[in-house]
Amino acid sequence: MAGSKNTRSPVSRFSPAALLALIASAFPAAGAFAQDKHAPAPLSIARQGAFEAGGSELGEGANSTSCDHGHVEYQIPVRPRATALFLWHSSTAAMWQRRWDGGEGYQSIFLRRGFPTYIWDGPRVGRANYGCEAYAYTPLPGRDAESFVGWRLGPTFGKWFPGVQFPTGDTDAWNQAARARYAEFDTVANAQLEAAAAANALERIGKAVLVTNSAGGLRAMLTALRSDNVAAIVAYETPGFVFPEGEGPQLAPGKFGPVYVSAGEFRKLTRFPIQLVWGDNLDRSPLWKNNFEIARSWVEIVNRHGGKAEILHLPDRGLKGNTHIPFADMNNVAVADLLSEFLRRHRLDGRVHAPHRR
């Protein structure tokens, strides 16, 4: 019959060793299609989505423009805990989503620990930039150096603090950090605007711990004056404060306040626990050293009015080299462990069986 002289399969012409080599060349790596044994387990998300909160309108009817609302991105894990984490940074949502080197950020860390997470962009910021007033972004040279020094990565641009919790040899890590931000509108008026929208978001979310960074701390305090849904505030390195009239440093209001309110209003901040968290190398930054001292006096005033406020200085707990943004630092799991400890101590880590509100 035609072809009967060559009935062997082409594969059978190869020796066993050559055949293995051929198979290996066809597949890039044995683990390329399998999960790295060192990679975290998959996240179990029951529900995720986004919504807008608060806001105003210009005009009406066909001539209206909806504006000055905030944007919420949320993820609810399977078997969630009862209290959500409301993650609030004044200039970027990305800092909650990754570590400096691209590893897991607070969003994923606490989803794994069972907490619903809500990442917030306040009015006119990030994904909520449709404002009711005209504003403009003015690009200026030198912003990267401001971030480098302001975040306490080092004393001057490009000169790292010894032992800083940043991958100093990774040029892309710095490139990503410098680009992951947007204009933040640091004024007391904007902080009040954001607080009003955040209070509206909490009406939909329910009880939540406001976890903030930098100027988000002042905004969280102002939100607590408007909302009964604040379960706690954990503020990483806040430069802004709300004081009762006649108490604390008597300063002219700047872009981070302070905001002075009546004693009755101030006592709204005594209804829940508050933790102010501070990183390392404060003594090498006059700005942050001064804010740290103001924070100490603020905690004393809150507690004198019957509150439950405390300072957490990370070096005092054995964590060294932390920056202005500890939750994105290379040791962010250890920083997260201290937040988990705070939540457990104040019984804010209980589970629920019913679906979590959104």
Residue-by-residue DSSP string for 326-338? GGGSTTHHHHHHH
What is the SS3 assignment for 124-153?
CCHHHCCCCCCCCCCCCCCHHHHHHHHCCC
pLDDT at 2 over 60: no
Q: How far apart are CA 11 and CA 274, in angstroms?
A: 70
Taking the C-alpha atoms of residue 235 and residue 221, their distance in angstroms, rounded to an integer, is 10
Q: Which position has the higher pLDDT, 356 or 280?
A: 280
Q: Tokens in use for 26? A: 């066809």
Q: Name the residue with higher pLDDT: 91 or 162.
A: 162
Residue-level pLDDT at 16: 47
Classify each residue of 259-286 as buried b or exposed e, where b means 16 or more C-beta atoms within 10 Å of its C-beta.
bbbeeeebebbbebbbbbbbbbbbeebe
- Mean of the per-residue pLDDT values of the chain: 90
Greater model confidence, 37 or 132: 132
pLDDT at residue 7, rounded to an integer:
44
pLDDT score of 46: 97
Task: Give the model's pLDDT for residue 354.
Answer: 55
User: Rounded distance, CA 57 to CA 134, Å?
Assistant: 14
Segments of the chain assigned E as strands: 45-53, 56-58, 65-67, 70-77, 84-89, 117-121, 208-213, 230-236, 242-244, 259-261, 273-278, 308-313
Dist. CA 14–CA 20, nearest whole Å: 9
Give the whole-angstrom CA distance, residue 159 versus residue 155.
7
- Segment 272-284 mean pLDDT: 98
pLDDT at 23 over 80: no
Tell me the CA end-to-end span of the chain in Å, nearest whole number: 74
Among the ranges given (33-42, 182-191, 206-215, 342-351), the one the predictor scored with the smallest mean pLDDT: 33-42
The whole-number pLDDT of residue 353 equals 63
CATH of domain 46-57+65-345: 3.40.50.1820
Q: What distances in angstroms separate CA 163 from CA 117, 160, 167, 320, one per listed residue?
A: 31, 8, 10, 7
pLDDT tens-digit series, residues 87-98: 999 888 999 999
Q: pLDDT (tens digit, 9 = 90+) per residue, 115-148?
A: 999 999 999 998 999 999 998 888 999 999 999 9
CB 302 within 8 A of CB 309: yes
* Average pLDDT value for residue range 53-68: 95
Q: Which whole number is the average pLDDT over 143-155? A: 97
What is residue 185's predicted lDDT score, i.e. its pLDDT? 87
Predicted local confidence at residue 357, as pLDDT:
52
Number of CB atoms found within 10 A of residue 62's CB:
5
Choice between 14 and 207, residue whose per-residue pLDDT is larger: 207
Per-residue pLDDT tens digits for 96-118: 999 999 999 999 999 999 999 99
Mean pLDDT of 22-30: 42
Q: What is the pTM of this model?
A: 0.88
Supply 160's token pair. 């790292």
Nearest CA to 75 out of 27, 39, 111, 122 is that of 111
**Any idea how long the chain is?**
358
Cβ partners under 8 Å of residue 318, min gap 6: none
Higher local confidence (pLDDT), 303 or 18: 303
Q: How confident is the model at residue 358 (pLDDT cuts 50, 70, 90)?
A: low
Residue 327's pLDDT band, with cuts at 50, 70 and 90, is very high
Could you give the 3-state DSSP secondary structure of residue 347? coil
* Among 188, 296, 294, 287, residue whose Cα is nearest residue 249: 294
Q: pLDDT tens digits for 217-267?
A: 999 999 999 999 999 999 999 999 999 999 999 998 899 999 999 999 999
